Amino acid sequence: MTSRKSAIVLGGSSDIGRATARAFAKAGYDVVLAGRDIAALEPDAADLRARYNVEVGLRKFDVLDTASFEGFVGGLPALPDAVISIVGLLGVQQNAESDLAHATTIMRSNYEGPSLILGLFAEKFLARGHGALVGVSSVAGDRGRASNYVYGSAKAGFSAFLSGLRARASRGGVHVVTVKPGFVRTKMTEGMKLIGPLTVEAPVVGDAILQAVEKKTDVVYVSGKWRLVMLVIKTLPEAMFKKLKF
């Protein structure tokens, strides 16, 4: 890495991961793209180098392989200025209701793995005295809904972890951001019925993440409309909430 700021994007091959890497590279950050398939990341790395004249590294990272986390962090040539976790798995709620393996994968992909890796980086950043950690959570974690409570519960846990980590890390000069994108038009949401006014494109999320790091924002609802929507949903009486079909 050079003297420029640097960022690691965990889940770099996702649509939001690519958009985030581009936002940071455009802002002059050197970038490390991390994911399970390094070969799939190579075209993106080449594009970022050519387009923005920054250094781009590639690292293998599997959010389910928690035993590899210490080696992943220890194997980096230098600690980055920012780590952005975009990894996650929506899964299929109906399958998760009876398939324990599927439910476990959803929970581990959205809560256990992202929390543990950011927690590990937090210790390194606190020892150094600065850094930014970003976790992409979800509005689905604001209140459990019948249609996606396995995924939503994992994101709720992740949001709670980030909240506690933020309170602790802020005393040591480390900034922790929770990002709640809402509906995003990506491969993961392909085929879903998205609500136009509440849906954003992946580059909007990438730009919001960069801005949150630069401005040290704590919690970001990428579309401000979601903050109001979830405020209403969270205040509905339980008797009324149980009758809603969503």
| Structure tokens belonging to residue 37 | 């398939």
Short-list 140, 124, 216, CA closest to 176? 216
Residue 72 to residue 58: CA distance in whole angstroms: 12
Which residues, in sequence order, are bridge partners of residue 132? 82, 175
Which of 52, 111, 151, 221 is the catalytic position? 151
Q: How far is CA 183 from CA 16, 46, 55, 227, in A?
A: 12, 29, 31, 13
Residue 224 to residue 222: CA distance in whole angstroms: 6
Residue 45, judged by CB atoms within 10 A of its CB (0-12, 13-18, 19+), counts as: buried
Residue 111 to residue 244: CA distance in whole angstroms: 26
Q: Is 151 a residue of the active site? A: yes
Active site (catalytic) residues = 151
